[in-house]
Chain A
Amino acid sequence: MQGRWSRVVRTPLGLTATALVVLVLALACLGPVLWGTGADAVNTDDILALPSAEHWAGTDNLGRDILLRSLVAARPSILLALVAIVISVVIGLLLGAAPFVLGRRTGRLVSAAVNIAVAFPGILLALFFAVVFGAGATGAVLAIGLSGAPAFARLTQTLVAGIAARDYVAAARIAGVGRFRVLFRHVLPNIAEPLVVNATIGAGSALLSFTGLSFLGLGVQSPSYDWGRLLYDGIGAIYVNAAAALAPGAAVLLAGLAFNLFGESVAKGLGIPAGFGLRALATTRAAAVPEPAVHGEEDHEPSDDVVLDVRDLEVTFPGPTGPVRLVRGVSFEVRRGEAVGVVGESGSGKSLTALAITRLVADHGRVDAARLDLLGHDLLAPDTAVRRRLLGTSLAMVFQDPMTSFNPTRRIGAQLAEVATHHQGKTRREAMARAVDRLAAVRIPDAEARARQYPHEFSGGMRQRAMIGMGLMGKPALIVADEPTTALDVTVQQQVLDLLAAIREADDVALVLISHDVTVVGEVCDRVLVMYAGRVVEDLPAAGLATAAQHPYTRALVEAVPDMATDLTRPLATIPGRPVGPADAPPGCAYADRCPLADARCRAEDPPLVATEGRHRVACWHPGEPVRPTEDLFETVESL
């Protein structure tokens, strides 16, 4: 928390805004003390004087120094604006939190009232209230406070509704915690930050509105004065002494700017995750020199058979304390028609590997590789039309959430057809025909009618199939599917997996399937890459997952997942500890801390990924050694 606030001050804009706000507040505190007497000193000999060395902004009709008066006016102006914003926030909070406390029906009435109030322009409301309360400082404060309240009520309501939908609020209510207690313990603390930010910005606008009211003669009355009043007095003589109006005007501008900038830089500082920026990226470039290929791999000649060839892939992101390597030297190849599964837990780098292959890693991430070839074309080469066409037609990507991978405002058919018009130069009619054909190919019934529908008219499984259909618009040699069935129900999952398998068989398309689910990967794929902390720790035939796995992590992963034949009398196998984050990957094997086989060497030296037999590769100093053979878990595996 402390860190996030101090980050606000560390940006140039934030620092300037903070300095301005401090200056304005200091002026409000000290102004009357320092210059109060000077500002009120009447000098009838020197009325309406022009700016001079003695009176920088001239004098008014009683010979008082306008600059001093502008400085002294800071206190009433700021104070009144702050009182007004406090009124706005308090009333806003009460109205905004009311629906949460009152329950559904009464709450709805309050929200409706707030919604109507929001529709009135603030300044009109202020004028209305100013007339009701009469001209004067009190009336104006109430007017501006009340007119600002609906906006805060609306904001509070939205924020409260967001927090109220969270499970921890539900949990507290289920535990019998009262509504008011939930409001004060769970809801308000979690909406405080955006409210504070908006109140700061609101203070700036309240100041402006207040100046406006005073300027119109509805605010502070003589002999008291604030900036608006000074502006009102000075404007009459603007052609004689421009400084008389400009001095209070500049003060208003500066103070308003100070509050607005401060609020906005706080909002920015609190909203953006740590340390991303040019500086962090610059250090990345120096530090992330790809390691020499010490991974003990025999360099195969790339054969025609290889669709995707990845060597020493590294993906680096800037972090708060320097660059973080999230994918660390991943090497594998995918042959024509082959299905390769990539499994791992969250944070293992499996999805980033997929994004790196498809060149979709976010801009501030860096992708390095000794080789990243698709069908013999270098994917790391600069972005050209040729490369885009290659990616657009030879590579298909399927994402986890089919709802967000389609544009919701365009028809499915048109979105598919775009691939053909864009990359293959087809006419719209041809492209549309192809789109319908492809939808039929992914087993969408009544494809012609379906092509004219929007994404929301498709079910989840249907959308995922349409997404695959989009990938089939070209002639893909490789489909990269990132958790394609995680968001789907089991019965639908099976249909999608079957579809992927059928496409593979029909066109000899290679598949890279990323999943956290070992059983899915085991069922669909020929080979499985197991990833841990950004590295491939084992590459083995899928058929051997249950029996031939050699890395202790792979074995534990397989044992930890219950299936329909798990022995119910024994506890499930578990992996002690927690996955190591890529940022704190140790010098040795990243799994050593959780591994029952780990010894001193494992902690000191990272084991290279070496071939054991055939294409089976494993990165372990103790591959295949029995894990506490007397333990139950081990027998469980054998009995499977």
Chain B
Amino acid sequence: MSELRFEDVTVRYGRTTAVDGVSLTVPEGEVVGLVGESGSGKSTLARAAVGLAPLAGGRITLGGAPVPTRGRPRPLQMVFQDPYSSLDPRMTAGESVTEAMPPGGSRAGRRAEVERLLELVHLDPVCAGSVPSRLSGGQRQRVALARALAARPRVIIADEITSALDVSVQGAVLNLVRELQRELGLTILFISHNLAVVRYVASHVAVLRNGRVVEQGPADRVLTEPSHDYTRALLAAVPGRPTPRSQ
């Protein structure tokens, strides 16, 4: 069982409540898209799940048990928005991936595992010896994905992983996310402000506003027949859709 469940989760920074009583379930083997605007609490929720932000209330469970935030293994892994700051500039891609692997195993075994992971994210295993500054944004984001997979997670949280990428590589990373999810049966919480991107990868969608979930449900229903006004406003604002003005 690797169902990620947020139960009435509240996170406060000082007097501001960033996340306010959020209940959300990411079913095993599914991709749940979490959409919302800046300041809605999307990233805070992700950080709370991996133990980077303290909970002020509620609980977060993985397969019924609290998410471990100390020691190893860590069944919940996260991929960050900016591949330029999420890889140590002084470590090679291979070292970054190796670091996240569970300890143990031979040196050769680890090297083979790095190669396997890099191939899994469609990177040439030669990249293992490169420092991030020699990799493109898309390649870095693949390394970050490989690092997250190296920890053998049951759930991955992807926090705006395509927002910092150029459009020509965004598509490739989205394809990769779908492919990995399908092949490995991963459970993914996919955070994005871009509805079209979420629509493409997620089967369920939750809409966050001011730290509260205003609507959630199957992606095709939420994105075609939204029941909340805010979801409707978000959908109307997606560029490239005919709006009353342009007609």
- Closest CB pairs A-B (n = 6): A519-B240, A176-B72, A167-B86, A572-B171, A489-B37, A175-B100
Additional pairs, 5, CB under 8 Å, beyond known A185-B91, A345-B168, A522-B239: A171-B78, A171-B86, A186-B88, A490-B37, A490-B238
Q: Are B90 and A189 in contact (CB under 8 A)?
A: yes
Interface pick from A246-254, A390-398, A493-501: A493-501
Taking the nearest CB of chain B, how far is it from the CB of A64, in angstroms? 52
Q: Would you give the 0/1 interface string for B53-87, flagging 1 where the beta carbon is closer than 8 Å to chain A?
A: 00000000000000000111110111011100111
Q: Are B52 and A523 in contact (CB under 8 A)?
A: no
Q: Are A171 and B80 in contact (CB under 8 A)?
A: yes
Q: Are B37 and A560 in contact (CB under 8 A)?
A: no
Q: Give complex CA distance A305, B144 in Å.
A: 51
B240 (CB) vs chain A CBs: closest residue: A519
- If A175-B100, A190-B88 touch, does A170 touch B80 (CB 8 Å cutoff)? yes
Q: Give complex CA distance A65, B169 in Å.
A: 74
B100 cross-chain contacts in A, Cβ below 8 A: 171-172, 175, 177
Is A346 on the interface with B (CB-CB < 8 A)? yes
Q: Are B167 and A516 in contact (CB under 8 A)?
A: yes
A560 (CB) vs chain B CBs: closest residue: B171
Interface pick from B16-24, B105-113, B183-191, B194-202: B194-202
Q: Are B167 and A190 in contact (CB under 8 A)?
A: no
Q: Are A563 and B196 in contact (CB under 8 A)?
A: yes
Q: Are B239 and A519 in contact (CB under 8 A)?
A: yes
Q: Are A491 and B151 in contact (CB under 8 A)?
A: no
28 A-B pairs whose Cβ atoms sit less than 8 Å apart in the complex: A167-B85, A167-B86, A171-B100, A171-B148, A172-B99, A176-B73, A176-B151, A177-B100, A190-B88, A190-B89, A490-B234, A490-B237, A491-B37, A517-B239, A519-B240, A520-B239, A560-B168, A561-B196, A562-B171, A562-B199, A563-B240, A564-B196, A564-B223, A566-B196, A566-B199, A572-B174, A574-B168, A579-B136
Is A238 on the interface with B (CB-CB < 8 A)? no
A493 cross-chain contacts in B, Cβ below 8 A: 237, 239
Q: Give complex CA distance A490, B230 in Å.
A: 12
Q: Give complex CA distance A346, B73 in Å.
A: 38
A272 cross-chain contacts in B, Cβ below 8 A: none
A175 cross-chain contacts in B, Cβ below 8 A: 72, 74, 77, 99-100, 147, 150-151
B200 cross-chain contacts in A, Cβ below 8 A: 562, 566, 568, 572
How many residues of chain A get a CB closer than 8 Å to chain B's CBs?
50
B178 cross-chain contacts in A, Cβ below 8 A: 571
Q: Would you give the 0/1 interface string for A180-194, flagging 1 where the beta carbon is closer than 8 Å to chain B?
A: 000001100110000
Is B138 on the interface with A (CB-CB < 8 A)? yes
Q: Are A168 and B199 in contact (CB under 8 A)?
A: no
Q: Give complex CA distance A575, B73 in Å.
A: 37
Is A141 on the interface with B (CB-CB < 8 A)? no
Q: Give complex CA distance A560, B171 in Å.
A: 6
Q: Are A176 and B171 in contact (CB under 8 A)?
A: no
A53 cross-chain contacts in B, Cβ below 8 A: none
B86 cross-chain contacts in A, Cβ below 8 A: 166-168, 170-171
Q: Are B77 and A174 in contact (CB under 8 A)?
A: yes
Count class of interface residues, chain B: 35 or more
A637 cross-chain contacts in B, Cβ below 8 A: none
Contact of B136 among A166, A571, A578 (CB under 8 A): A578
Q: Are B82 and A573 in contact (CB under 8 A)?
A: no
Q: Are B236 and A494 in contact (CB under 8 A)?
A: yes
A523 cross-chain contacts in B, Cβ below 8 A: 239-240, 243, 246
Q: Give complex CA distance A170, B196 in Å.
A: 28
A573 cross-chain contacts in B, Cβ below 8 A: 171
A557 cross-chain contacts in B, Cβ below 8 A: 167-168
Q: Are A522 and B99 in contact (CB under 8 A)?
A: no
B199 (CB) vs chain A CBs: closest residue: A564
Q: Give complex CA distance A174, B77 in Å.
A: 6
Q: Would you give the 0/1 interface string for A547-586, flagging 1 where the beta carbon is closer than 8 Å to chain B?
A: 0000000001100111110101001111100110000000
Is B38 on the interface with A (CB-CB < 8 A)? yes
Taking the nearest CB of chain B, how far is it from the CB of A329, in angstroms? 23
Q: Would you give the 0/1 interface string for A476-494, flagging 1 where the beta carbon is closer than 8 Å to chain B?
A: 0000000000000111111
Q: Give complex CA distance A168, B140 in Å.
A: 12
- If A491-B37, A571-B175 touch, does A346 touch B166 (CB 8 Å cutoff)? yes
Q: Give complex CA distance A494, B241 in Å.
A: 11
Q: Are A516 and B166 in contact (CB under 8 A)?
A: yes
B39 (CB) vs chain A CBs: closest residue: A489
Is B170 on the interface with A (CB-CB < 8 A)? yes
Taking the nearest CB of chain B, how far is it from the CB of A573, in angstroms? 6
Q: Are B241 and A564 in contact (CB under 8 A)?
A: yes
Contact of A174 among B78, B89, B96, B138 (CB under 8 A): B78
Q: Give complex CA distance A209, B144 in Å.
A: 49
B139 cross-chain contacts in A, Cβ below 8 A: 578
Q: Give complex CA distance A61, B10 in Å.
A: 80
Is A135 on the interface with B (CB-CB < 8 A)? no
Q: Are B245 and A501 in contact (CB under 8 A)?
A: yes
Q: Give complex CA distance A562, B219 in Å.
A: 15
- If A491-B234, A494-B236 touch, does A574 touch B175 (CB 8 Å cutoff)? yes
- If A176-B72, A578-B136 touch, does A190 touch B171 (CB 8 Å cutoff)? no
B91 cross-chain contacts in A, Cβ below 8 A: 185-186
A498 cross-chain contacts in B, Cβ below 8 A: 245
Q: Give complex CA distance A578, B139 in Å.
A: 9
B193 cross-chain contacts in A, Cβ below 8 A: 489-490
Q: Are B168 and A185 in contact (CB under 8 A)?
A: no
Q: Would you give the 0/1 interface string for B209-245, flagging 1 where the beta carbon is closer than 8 Å to chain A?
A: 0000000000000010000000001111111110101
A553 (CB) vs chain B CBs: closest residue: B168
Q: Are B90 and A572 in contact (CB under 8 A)?
A: no
Q: Give complex CA distance A172, B144 in Å.
A: 11
Taking the nearest CB of chain B, how far is it from the CB of A511, in angstroms? 15
- If A168-B85, A345-B168, A564-B199 touch, does A176 touch B138 (CB 8 Å cutoff)? no
Q: Give complex CA distance A517, B196 in Å.
A: 13
Q: Give complex CA distance A517, B170 in Å.
A: 12
A575 cross-chain contacts in B, Cβ below 8 A: 168-169, 171
Is A518 on the interface with B (CB-CB < 8 A)? yes
B99 cross-chain contacts in A, Cβ below 8 A: 172, 175, 177, 185
Is B50 on the interface with A (CB-CB < 8 A)? yes
A520 (CB) vs chain B CBs: closest residue: B239
Q: Are A168 and B73 in contact (CB under 8 A)?
A: no
A568 (CB) vs chain B CBs: closest residue: B200
B171 cross-chain contacts in A, Cβ below 8 A: 560-562, 572-575
A517 cross-chain contacts in B, Cβ below 8 A: 167, 239
A189 (CB) vs chain B CBs: closest residue: B90
A:251-293 near B, CB below 8 Å: none
Taking the nearest CB of chain B, how far is it from the CB of A427, in angstroms? 38
Q: Are A176 and B71 in contact (CB under 8 A)?
A: yes
Q: Give complex CA distance A193, B49 in Å.
A: 34
A181 (CB) vs chain B CBs: closest residue: B99
Contact of A345 among B76, B166, B174, B237 (CB under 8 A): B166
Q: Would you give the 0/1 interface string for B21-53, flagging 1 where the beta carbon is closer than 8 Å to chain A?
A: 000000000000000011000000001001110
B74 cross-chain contacts in A, Cβ below 8 A: 174-176
Q: Are A167 and B166 in contact (CB under 8 A)?
A: no
Taking the nearest CB of chain B, how far is it from the CB of A634, in angstroms? 15
Taking the nearest CB of chain B, how far is it from the CB of A563, in angstroms? 5
